[in-house]
Structure 1
Amino acid sequence: MATIVLKHVAEDRTNDREIVDTGAAMFGLGGDNVHCGVCGREMMHDVPIRTIKVNLLYRCAGCGSLNELPPGA
């Protein structure tokens, strides 16, 4: 399990990608702890984000910013 800090994406750079609202937090059954690239809030806990094959954007419930998995994560 690793800690991953997402990369901030400007609202005008979404390129029509699907946006997932993580809510208070998303919990999985094994994987990484994922943090917002703007405010640092933990958005996902034990979620295997690196195995998700779809290029999604994640909205932080804390600050409202959009984030994506950084290249090479």
Structure 2
Amino acid sequence: MARLVLAVVEEADVNGREIVGTGVAMLGLEGDDVICGRCGREMMSQMPIRTMPSGLLYRCEVCGALNEVPPEEQP
């Protein structure tokens, strides 16, 4: 398990990609702790985000930022 800081995506760069709201927090069974690239909040705990479909955007419920897995961390 590692801490993975997501990359912020500007609204103008969404280009029709699906946006997932993480709610207060998402909890998985094993994986990474996922951090918002803007405010530093832990958005997901123990989530296998590196194996989830690429291209998804994750909205931070605290600051509203759209985040994505950085390209260098994608499978």
TM-score range, shorter chain: over 0.9
Could you list the structure 1 runs, at least 4 aligned residues long, displaced by more than 6 angstroms after superposition.
Answer: none
Offset, 1:71: 1.1
Q: Identify unmatched segments of 5+ residues in structure 1.
A: none
Matched with 2:58 is 58
Q: Identify unmatched segments of 5+ residues in structure 2.
A: none
Q: Within 5 Å, which residues of 2 pair with 1:1-73?
A: 1-73=1-73
Three-state SS of the structure 2 residue aligned to 1:46 is: strand
Three-state SS of the structure 1 residue aligned to 2:43 is: strand
Give the Cα–Cα distance (whole angstroms) in 2 for the partners of residues 59 and 21 of structure 1: 5
Give the Cα–Cα distance (whole angstroms) in 2 for the partners of residues 52 and 42 of structure 1: 18
Output the TM-score relative to the length of structure 1. Answer: 0.96
Offset, 1:53: 2.3
Sequence identity (%): 60
Offset, 1:54: 3.5
Give the superposed CA RMSD: 0.7
Aligned residues: 73
Offset, 1:55: 1.3
